[in-house]
Amino acid sequence: DQQVKQNSPSLSVQEGRISILNCDYTNSMFDYFLWYKKYPAEGPTFLISISSIKDKNEDGRFTVFLNKSAKHLSLHIVPSQPGDSAVYFCAALFGNQFYFGTGTSLTVIP
């Protein structure tokens, strides 16, 4: 039972343009949503989070949007840079349990 889904396995974007990564979830009781970034042979690195009571959180080039009615969140990266090329995981927190999506591989083309 996959409670957090990332339906796009990969995404390619030109440098300087916007990258939009999407995530859907099924459990309306999730407290927090998070995005992690993962480079090859490294562990995931926390990127940004959003509380379930908010609909937007921004940190520099990264903005996360939460649409609770659609049970959907997205990560916007503007402008995209080649160093952003990585696998991005969304995760959701319920109580003390984290649920991860399957990841989206982002390639930023110089």
Question: Which stretches of 2-110 are DSSP H helices?
Answer: none
Contact 29, 92 (CB under 8 A): no
Q: Does 1 bind another protein (CB under 8 A)?
A: no
Distant-in-sequence, close-in-space partners of 93: CB < 8 Å, separation ≥ 6: 30, 31, 32, 33, 34, 99
Query: 20-49: which residues touch another protein (CB under 8 A)?
Result: 32, 34, 36, 41-46, 49
| CB of residue 36 to another protein, shortest distance in Å | 8
Q: Does 100 bind another protein (CB under 8 A)?
A: yes
Q: Does 103 bind another protein (CB under 8 A)?
A: yes
Query: 53-82: which residues touch another protein (CB under 8 A)?
Result: none
Q: Which two tokens stand for residue 26?
A: 């099924």
